[in-house]
Amino acid sequence: MTAAAPGIDDAVVVSVFRFPTPGPEADGTLEWNATTAVAVELTAGGERGFGWTYSSPAAGTVIDHDLAPLLRGRSPLDITGCRIALQRACRSIGTTSVVAHALSAVDIALWDLKARLLGTPLSALFGTARDATPVYGSGGFTNLPDSELTTQISQWLAAGCSAVKIKIGQDRGGAIERDLERLTLAAELTEGRCALMADANGAYTVGRARRVGRELDRRGVVWFEEPVTSDDPHGLERVRASVRCDVTAGEYICGPYDAAALIDVVDCLQLDVTRCGGYSGFLDCAALAAAHGRDVSAHCAPALHAPVTAAVPNLRNLEWFIDHARLEPLLVDGAPEVAGGLLPPHRPDTDCGHGMRLSESAEPYRTCPPTVAR
């Protein structure tokens, strides 16, 4: 079948969008007021494959300059062959960070294109370990007043989430009393109704993280994400040894080597298809985690993750991040919707691919005319 497949057309279309947040948002180590999405469209045999990543616009430049020329004429059915060619071509500019984000967007577009050429939904290509993926509500920014934190958690409970996650580590870990006040509020709101998780985004030192971790245990928190920076596996290991709750990390993983560096120091490995090598990278890293007896959890980009999280046996949950839940219906048409705390792999009427298309509603957020690498 591969030999007869149509080659990828010359034009590779890259678009960059910037979606403002409703107001300033913050976690323990970063403040932001917008989210940038870099989208790529590939065509072959009259079909269009679509992928995207949340990254710097520089990821779009990498696709334009470094990846698109290598895709031209290749079979989109041979995703392995494409991956090898793209990875090898990026040796000298590096295959992590922004380049990994670019590679991820292209991988997703390739899978979408392949499924469309085969006339099948992506979930049929990946297989199904479950009918739908459990999502957890995520947001709870450190700069929210308590009233807004209460509203967010109430909305996630009403949506049927079995867990919710709030940010802690305010002021780079320098406002522990405030963190604990907010955790106490969240624990009161969720007690007996759903699990509570906390994300410090690497804000604490090891010592502070251990002390905060003991307070998390007292409040019944089940998940302590990035208590220290995930660049410090030994620090994660030291925190993990001192708390009852699960320690998790992995949202910046760019591929199996990164996953291998974290797998022994976390209880659940987080993976993001927009960073870890797309659907292919997600499946690779999830298999590595399974071999080490670890669950994986999908980080953000819920609609994009949905087809692949349904296929992974050791998948624990998917992050229904409030920024992306708001953004995805603007960026794409055809995004699946959460019902009863579950996200199906695609919309029921999806007959091929992931079922999503770039939406007209994204146009006001486009930062510049699309670039077409030829």
Residues that bind Mg ion (CB under 5 A): 199
**Adjacent-strand bridge partners of 246:** 223
Q: Phi-psi bin for 9: left (phi > 0), alpha (psi -120 to 50), beta? A: beta
Give min distance, CB of 249 to Mg ion, in A.
Answer: 8
Q: How far is CA 336 from CA 41, 132, 165, 279, 307, in A?
A: 20, 10, 21, 17, 10
Q: How far apart are CA 297 and CA 312, in angstroms?
A: 10
Angle in degrees, CA 327, 332, 334, rounded to 5: 120
Nearest residue (CB) to Mg ion, 60 versus 202:
202
What residue is closest to Mg ion based on CB?
199
One-letter amino acid at 339 equals A
Nearest residue (CB) to Mg ion, 41 versus 199:
199
Give min distance, CB of 183 to Mg ion, in A.
Answer: 16
**What is the distance, to the nearest Å, from the Cα of residue 208 to the centroid of all Cα atoms in its chain?**
27
Give min distance, CB of 165 to Mg ion, in A.
Answer: 8
Q: How far apart are CA 238 and CA 250, in angstroms?
A: 17
261: helix, coil or strand? Answer: helix
One-letter amino acid at 277 equals G
Nearest residue (CB) to Mg ion, 167 versus 354:
167
Nearest residue (CB) to Mg ion, 315 versus 352:
315
Give min distance, CB of 273 to Mg ion, in A.
Answer: 15
Nearest residue (CB) to Mg ion, 15 versus 201:
201
By DSSP bridging, strand 268-271 and strand 246-249 are parallel
Give min distance, CB of 38 to Mg ion, in A.
Answer: 20
Nearest residue (CB) to Mg ion, 199 versus 295:
199
Give min distance, CB of 171 to Mg ion, in A.
Answer: 17
Nearest residue (CB) to Mg ion, 199 versus 258:
199
Of the candidates 96, 26, 106, 21, the residue with the CA atom closest to the CA atom of residue 60 = 106
Give min distance, CB of 107 to Mg ion, in A.
Answer: 22
